[in-house]
A and B are shown apart, each in its own frame.
Chain A
Amino acid sequence: MLDVAGLDVYHGNLHVIWDLSLHISGGEIVTILGSNGAGKTTVVETLFGLNTPASGKIAFRGEDITGLPPFTIVPRGMSLVPEKRELFPKMTVRENLELGAFATSKETADYDRIFSLFPVLHEREGQLAGTLSGGEQQMLAIARSLMAAPGMLVLDEPSLGLSPKLVGTVLDTIRDLNRDGLTILLVEQNVRNALEISHRGYVLENGRIVGSGTSDELLEDEHVKAAYLGA
């Protein structure tokens, strides 16, 4: 589904992503693990054309999408749930959802499906997004990116700032979406919870991939245990 090869990204003169390669097959949940400042968000932004890579290639569904502007990526079937569940806080839940389907024309806008997945959003349809609780906002952020009917969803730290119980709810939702056929790229520093629902993972440190494997392998890995699981 997604192939990234030899990606290098700079912020000005600062080399932040070094020769990054990764692969995600259709139907997988893959996690990129990393602590603060490892470059996780930069990777996500580069996938969506919000950063231009200095070198390397990004292919989605076999097509080269490297350096394409963001508004051409979403219609190809890859949607982003941004970090800190950034919504349009002064717009209604309904308008936020409409914006999710903006790039892909109206046909993909399946409100019935979204509202059956997230009934609470149906109740709050006319409410301003900024007045929702943290968990509801995360649900709305996910719902919004589903409005484009993507084949692959990229989630940037969906558990950030949520209570442990809500983290569980969000991750369960992600797993359910995956069971319905959605490919998922999860970017997380909440390592244990993320790996528990993932098939595979990559470990990102200082802009480099330093390890990869199946979730079980990573959960048993001495380095991962020491650095991320506090064991």
Chain B
Amino acid sequence: MTAMFWRSPKACLIAGAGAAGIVLPLLPVANLYVLTVLILMLIFIIYASAWNLLTYSGQGSLGHAAFFGLGGYASSLIAIQSGLSPYITIFAGAAFSAFIGLLIGLTCVRLREWFLAMVTFGFAIIIQTVIVSMLSPVTGGWDGYAVPKLIASDIPYHLLWEYYSIFIIAILSLLAIHLILKSHIGLALAAIRENELEARAAGIDPVRFKLLAFTASAYIAGIAGALEIHHFGYITPEIFGVELSFWPVIYSITGGLGTLAGPVVGTIVVSLLWDGLNAAGLTYERYIIIGVLLILIIIYLPRGLVSLAERYGKTEGGGRNPR
């Protein structure tokens, strides 16, 4: 079994991607700019994967920035108040994000996909408003505040250490999502997505499992948000912006909805393109280019870039992932 696994093309790809992730920042090309790009890429891989976990259960969100941002605010406030290391507060902040996710979930898990998505969209705006206005004594309103860096910038090679610690957290997040989806929970989520009435008849409680997916997704998105602000060392309410809600959607659709590799591939390809076009001087044109790319992918590759591998490689499609 193990021997077969290591010979499969899928395993080679995973091992190759992991090796690239380890070696890349050590190459001579990896200056501070490249390292920053790679770090943000990892953060968005975590974030997009969290969003994608939600779609696996047939739910959708257009306001995931709410959880991304809440993770950031909660983690940084805890870090500042308690003096704990960001490495600890990241997970506490994410727990807060998950708790709010659970509350939103409770009010609207009964809504179908895009109705739920609209509620989450509104919710991200509400949170941003609350942070800016009512909570401004703590949050500094639109100005934001400085937060402790993940690794202080006076430590030698701090960006490199930061990269590797975020790399490990990304791997652990993907592993956690993989284990959830492979377990009986993943089976139930897929069944709910495929046919909710039928899932109920088979004895599955959709509300419970949807809430679980919602909460887990909010937790992981919260981790990503906390990592981002502890990387920048600063937080402002712009973290709740519409763009931040839409990036995980774009990444996941480009890579392939409902697959583990989809958000990873999508994030790498789109964010490289995004930064590459900017570097090439196409700062505004890139919106159009990415938009056209998205349209083409939805039309010609509805299951995303990862379906190319299935089409041309020998990786067999599992039963329950693609949608």
A interface with B by C-beta (< 8 Å): 48, 50, 69-71, 73-75, 80, 82, 86-92, 94-95, 98-100, 102-104, 126, 128, 144, 148
A99-B319 in contact (CB<8A):
no
For B320, the chain A residues whose CB sits under 8 A away are 88, 90-92, 95
A99-B187, A99-B191, A102-B187 known; A91 vs B201 contact (CB < 8 Å): no
B109 in the interface (beta carbon within 8 A): no
A70-B201 in contact (CB<8A):
yes
B14 in the interface (beta carbon within 8 A): no
CA distance A102 to B190 in the complex (A): 13
CA distance A178 to B202 in the complex (A): 21
Interface string of B9-48 (1 = CB under 8 A from A): 0000000000000000000000000000000000000000
B213 in the interface (beta carbon within 8 A): no
Cross-interface CB contact of A91 among B200, B204, B319, cutoff 8 Å: B319
A70-B200 in contact (CB<8A):
yes
B194-A50 in contact (CB<8A):
no
State how many angstroms separate the Cβ of B112 from the closest Cβ of chain A.
17
Cross-interface CB contact of B204 among A48, A50, A71, A95, cutoff 8 Å: A71
Interface string of B300-323 (1 = CB under 8 A from A): 000000000000000000011011
State how many angstroms separate the Cβ of B110 from the closest Cβ of chain A.
13
Interface of chain B residues 176 through 191 with chain A (CB within 8 A): 184, 187-188, 190-191
B200-A103 in contact (CB<8A):
no
A148-B200 in contact (CB<8A):
no
State how many angstroms separate the Cβ of A192 from the closest Cβ of chain B.
28
For B269, the chain A residues whose CB sits under 8 A away are none
For A71, the chain B residues whose CB sits under 8 A away are 200, 203-205
For B198, the chain A residues whose CB sits under 8 A away are 82, 86-88
B interface with A by C-beta (< 8 Å): 184, 187-188, 190-191, 194-195, 197-205, 319-320, 322-323
CA distance A92 to B319 in the complex (A): 5
Which residue of chain B has its CB nearest to the CB of A86? B198
Cross-interface CB contact of B203 among A91, A102, A128, cutoff 8 Å: A102
CA distance A80 to B203 in the complex (A): 10
| 4 closest A-B pairs by CB | A103-B203, A74-B203, A92-B319, A71-B205
Q: Can you list 6 A-B pairs with a CB-CB distance of less than 8 A? A: A82-B198, A88-B320, A92-B320, A98-B184, A102-B187, A128-B319
For A69, the chain B residues whose CB sits under 8 A away are 205
Which residue of chain A has its CB nearest to the CB of B202? A99
Which residue of chain B has its CB nearest to the CB of A82? B201
B187-A100 in contact (CB<8A):
no
A90-B320, A95-B320, A98-B187 known; A70 vs B203 contact (CB < 8 Å): yes
B202-A91 in contact (CB<8A):
no
Cross-interface CB contact of A103 among B190, B202, B322, B323, cutoff 8 Å: B202
For B195, the chain A residues whose CB sits under 8 A away are 86, 88
CA distance A74 to B203 in the complex (A): 6
Cross-interface CB contact of B191 among A50, A91, A94, A126, cutoff 8 Å: A91
A82-B201, A91-B194 known; A102 vs B184 contact (CB < 8 Å): yes
Cross-interface CB contact of A102 among B188, B197, B319, B322, cutoff 8 Å: B188
CA distance A87 to B190 in the complex (A): 12
For B200, the chain A residues whose CB sits under 8 A away are 50, 70-71
CA distance A137 to B204 in the complex (A): 21
B202-A144 in contact (CB<8A):
yes
A98-B187, A99-B187 known; A90 vs B319 contact (CB < 8 Å): yes
A80-B319 in contact (CB<8A):
no
A88-B191, A88-B198, A89-B194 known; A102 vs B323 contact (CB < 8 Å): no
For A48, the chain B residues whose CB sits under 8 A away are 201
CA distance A82 to B195 in the complex (A): 12
A94-B319 in contact (CB<8A):
yes
CA distance A48 to B201 in the complex (A): 7
In this complex, which of B199, B203, B323 has the most chain A Cβ atoms within 10 angstroms of its Cβ? B203
State how many angstroms separate the Cβ of B298 from the closest Cβ of chain A.
19
A88-B194, A90-B194, A98-B187 known; A104 vs B319 contact (CB < 8 Å): no
Cross-interface CB contact of B190 among A91, A126, A144, cutoff 8 Å: A91
State how many angstroms separate the Cβ of B161 from the closest Cβ of chain A.
42
State how many angstroms separate the Cβ of B4 from the closest Cβ of chain A.
15
For B188, the chain A residues whose CB sits under 8 A away are 99, 102
A90-B201 in contact (CB<8A):
no
A90-B322, A91-B190, A91-B191 known; A99 vs B204 contact (CB < 8 Å): yes
For A128, the chain B residues whose CB sits under 8 A away are 319
CA distance A74 to B187 in the complex (A): 17
CA distance A82 to B323 in the complex (A): 23
For B319, the chain A residues whose CB sits under 8 A away are 90-92, 94-95, 126, 128
State how many angstroms separate the Cβ of A13 from the closest Cβ of chain B.
22
For B322, the chain A residues whose CB sits under 8 A away are 90
CA distance A128 to B197 in the complex (A): 19
CA distance A148 to B202 in the complex (A): 9
A75-B203 in contact (CB<8A):
yes
